[in-house]
Every structure is written in C-alpha cells, then in structure tokens.
C-alpha cells in the first residue's frame, strides 16, 4: 500500500507506475481515491469546527449558570446536543469514506524501483548473470522422479491414498538429503549473522492481507474451516507478521532472521509427467530469510540476500542464474524482485528455486511496522528471500549430481549432515 500523499501530490507518478505494470484497468482508482480523500479532509474541517464551537459553548454554560441565567444555559445545552449529533454523523461518514479509500488503496500497486525492466509477463524477465557452468553430461539424465524411485526414496502412490494428488512420502537417504539441505542452509544463514526462528504455521487473516495481495491469498492460501486461521504459504508471512503494530527501536535495526517452516499452497497441478514428480506439490519445506531495515538500507540488503542463496546453491555444486523480474511479473506489493534459477541438465534449461524481493514500506504500512526517529515515527522497509526450498532445490541437486551408474553424489558441503555418506546408490 502506497503513501496517500503520493496520490495527493503526484497522481501522474502513480498512474505511470500502473501503466508500466500493464494494469490500465486500475487507473481510475487513483482519481477515485483522490476525490474520496478530499471529501474526508473536508469532513474533518467541519468536524474540527463543530468541536471547537462545542468546546467554546461548553465553557459558557458554567458562567451563565453562575450568573443565574439558567434559561440561556439550557438553550446552549440543546445547541451542544445538536452539535454532538452532527459530529457523530460526520465522523461516521468519515469512517465510511476511509474504509472505501483503504479498499481501493490496497489494490493500487507499490511504486517500482527505477531499475525494474519493463515487460508484460514472466516471458520478458531479464537474465542478469550466471554462476557456474551449466553442463549437460554425455549420458542421459532421467526424470527426477525416476532417479528418486531407483534409490527407493519416494512413494507418491501411498501419499495419494492418505492425502491425494500433490503430496508425497520421501524415504531413506533422499529424505535425509532433503533435510540435510535445509539444515545446511539454516547453519549457513546463522553463520552469516541471521537469527534462527521457527514461526507459527498458521496466521490470522489480518496478517495475510498485511503481507500479500488478496488475489495472491485466494490463489495460494488454505483456510482452516470455521476459524480465522490460514496455513502459511511461506514463513515470510508469519515472520513479518511477528512485528505487526510494533514501534521498533532504531538501535535494534536492522533485524535479520532466517526461519524454517513447512509451507502449504493450493498449487494447480500440471499434467502428465510433471504430476508424478515433485515440481508442483501442496506441501513443501523451506528455509527463508527476512530483513526489516531503515528505508535507505533496503536496496543494499536486497543485493546481499539473493547472493547468499547463490552461494548456497554453488556449495551444492548446482549452476544458477539471477533473473530480474520485469514490471508485469512483479507482484503489486513489491518494489523490486529477482528469481534464482537452477540449471536442469535433463531439461537443458533453468528453473526457479527461489525468489528475493524488497517490498519497500508496503507490508510495514499495512501492518503498522514502524520506528521512531527525530521527526517522529516512520515506516520501515521489509525484504524476504528463499534460502532453500525443497523439493525444488532437491530436484536441482539430484539432477546436477546424478552419475551414469544411477547413483547420486552427495555434495561435500552436505556430507557431514549425511553421516559422512558420499554417494547414494541405486537399490
């Protein structure tokens, strides 16, 4: 949610930002908010005037009563009562107008950073740089589900019986490898100064709408029937929500945390081959990172954060690239975002394994996350980034470490988490 001062003072900037995101249907909202805000302020002037008159009249009553002018005092009391009734009506009108403003403001996108490339959709995202050489070996890389099944590491058939499509059992060394990736990522982030956290896995609706847009919520979140609780789609939701309504001391900034959680999403399943694999699933695990910082530090943190993910994947012997999200692919709350994509030697292309975003003060404004400075309170900036999400990260690791005999090399960085195991052999 943007600062309403932008609409009061620079509607053209807000409209141009909407056009760059190819959301022209939202352009009328800017003028609608402007007019509603003008009405709110006009009503406020009337309320302030009536309250001032009311206070003045209240002061006269005591004097009139003291002078024995009871009838005059009673007339003023009736005038005050009418004034109070008018004030109440105006304040209700003001409240209704403010609700309408908020509803419209929640849909107007955040102002993007000037560096964001302009494009209609994810097909126009821009490759920034590559890390590691993408290799296609001279032997065939099977589909990841087949590799995993060959080492007795997965049972989707049983998961279908217990839970339905989009769920899975990971077993044996593959389950252990999955957890090794998460554990390594956790320790790597702690070593880089991030505070480790395990957050709640369910959150209230006011936190959900504070951290994401309503269309995103409808597409992603599972709601607990009969309760104001949603299963998190990523621990960023509850981690940012932790600071809801807080005024954070400046000496405590920046706050940098890394969190583990299972994640739950209403993913639309793909068809055919992908359905039996682990690309699109309803439940997965993730190590996340979030930062809350001073506004002038957010872009510096953004650069630090995505690079940490790159370092981790390179330590897993996985080539990756950074892909800059274009304007049309940028979620409405985001100022700037990039995807980290891992190389797939089977598909001979990159696929997404993580995303890093700075949201400016959008989430902080919705949730009331502030600091207090010399000029009063102000909204902080929030950022989030995927450290490692499995099974996507697991797929990348398996494909890039698959050997011709059907075995999977365990990257050196993960061997201590696997009891020293160096190779997972086909059963």
Query: pLDDT averaged over the chain?
Result: 93
Domain membership of residue 111 (yes or no) is no
Q: What is the rounded CA–CA span in Å between residue 229 and residue 204?
A: 5
Assess whether 89 and 195 both reside in one domain: no
Nearest Cα residue to 385 out of 280, 287, 277: 287
Q: What is the rounded CA–CA span in Å between residue 60 and residue 68?
A: 12
Question: Where is pLDDT greater, at 168 or 216?
Answer: 168
131-165 pLDDT, tens per residue? 999 999 999 999 999 999 999 999 999 998 999 88
Q: Give the model's pLDDT for residue 274.
A: 53
What is the separation of C-alpha 271 from the centre of its chain, rounded to a whole number of angstroms?
28
DSSP secondary structure code for residue 267 in this structure:
P
Assess whether 75 and 169 both reside in one domain: no
Instruction: Please give the sequence-ordered ranges of beta strands (E in DSSP) within 54-208, or none if there are none.
Output: 126-131, 154-155, 169-170, 195-197, 202-203
Q: What is the rounded CA–CA span in Å between residue 293 and residue 360?
A: 10
Q: Give the model's pLDDT for residue 149.
A: 93
Domain membership of residue 323 (yes or no) is yes
pLDDT of residue 272 exceeding 80: no
| Residue after which a domain boundary falls, among 76, 105, 134 | 105
Structural domain count, the chain: 2
Long-range contacts of 250-255 (CB under 8 A, 24+ apart): 250/294, 250/371, 250/372, 250/373, 253/292, 253/293, 253/294, 253/371, 253/380, 254/291, 254/292, 254/293, 254/294, 254/297, 254/301, 255/195, 255/290, 255/291, 255/292, 255/293
- Spatial contact of 237 and 363, defined as CB atoms under 8 Å apart: no
Q: State the pTM of this model.
A: 0.89
Beta bridge partners, 293, equal 381
Domain membership of residue 13 (yes or no) is yes
Q: What is the rounded CA–CA span in Å between residue 165 and residue 223?
A: 19
For residue 240, what are the domain limits? 122-424
Nearest Cα residue to 239 out of 359, 148, 137: 359
Domain membership of residue 117 (yes or no) is no
Domain membership of residue 116 (yes or no) is no
Which pLDDT band holds residue 275 (cuts at 50, 70, 90)?
low
Question: Where is pLDDT greater, at 28 or 164?
Answer: 28
Assess whether 175 and 287 both reside in one domain: yes
Assess whether 30 and 71 both reside in one domain: yes
Assess whether 143 and 10 both reside in one domain: no
CATH code, domain with 95: 1.10.287.40
CB-based contacts of 418: which residues, under 8 Å, 6+ apart? 173, 176, 177, 180, 410
Assess whether 58 and 127 both reside in one domain: no
Q: Give the model's pLDDT for residue 1.
A: 84
Q: Give the model's pLDDT for residue 75.
A: 82
Burial class (CB in 10 A: 0-12, 13-18, 19+), 407: middle
Q: What is the rounded CA–CA span in Å between residue 271 and residue 216?
A: 22
Assess whether 101 and 133 both reside in one domain: no
């Amino acid at each position: 949610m943007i600062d309403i001062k932008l609409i009061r003072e620079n509607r053209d900037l807000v409209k141009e930002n909407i056009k760059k995101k190819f959301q022209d249907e939202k352009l009328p909202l800017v003028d609608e908010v402007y007019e509603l805000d003008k009405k709110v302020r006009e009503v406020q002037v009337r309320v302030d005037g009536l309250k001032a008159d009311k206070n003045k009249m209240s002061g006269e009553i005591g004097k009139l009563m003291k002078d024995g002018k009871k009838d005059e005092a009673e007339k003023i009391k009736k005038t005050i009562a009418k004034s109070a009734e008018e004030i109440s009506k105006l304040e209700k009108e003001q409240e209704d107008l403010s609700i309408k403003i908020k509803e419209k403001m929640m849909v107007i996108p955040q102002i993007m950073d000037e560096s964001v490339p302009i494009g209609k959709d994810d097909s126009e995202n821009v490759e920034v740089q590559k890390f590691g050489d993408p290799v296609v070996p001279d032997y065939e890389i099977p589909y990841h589900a087949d590799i995993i099944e060959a080492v007795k590491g997965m049972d989707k058939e049983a998961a279908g019986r217990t839970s339905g499509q989009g769920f899975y059992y990971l077993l044996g060394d593959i389950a252990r490898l999955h957890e090794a990736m998460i554990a390594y990522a956790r320790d790597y982030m702690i070593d880089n100064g991030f505070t480790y956290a395990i957050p709640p896995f369910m959150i209230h609706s006011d936190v959900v709408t504070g951290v994401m847009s309503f269309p995103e919520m409808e597409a992603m979140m599972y709601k607990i029937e009969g309760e104001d609780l949603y299963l998190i789609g990523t621990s960023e939701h509850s981690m940012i929500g932790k600071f809801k309504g807080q005024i954070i001391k400046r000496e405590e900034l920046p706050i940098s945390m890394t969190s583990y959680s299972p994640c739950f999403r209403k993913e639309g399943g793909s068809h055919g081959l992908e359905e039996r694999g682990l690309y699109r699933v309803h439940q997965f695990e993730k190590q996340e990172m979030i930062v809350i910082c001073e506004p002038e530090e957010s872009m510096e943190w953004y650069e630090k954060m995505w690079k940490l993910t790159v370092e981790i994947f390179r330590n897993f012997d996985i080539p990756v690239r950074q892909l800059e999200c274009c304007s049309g692919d940028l979620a409405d709350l985001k100022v700037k975002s990039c995807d980290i994509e891992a190389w797939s030697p089977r598909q001979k292309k990159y696929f997404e394994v993580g995303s890093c975003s700075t949201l400016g003060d959008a989430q902080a404004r919705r949730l009331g996350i502030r600091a207090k400075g010399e000029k009063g309170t102000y909204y902080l900036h929030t950022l989030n980034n995927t450290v490692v999400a499995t099974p996507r990260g697991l797929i990348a690791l398996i494909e890039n470490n698959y050997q011709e005999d059907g075995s999977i090399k365990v990257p050196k960085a993960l061997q201590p988490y696997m009891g020293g195991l160096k190779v997972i052999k086909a059963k």
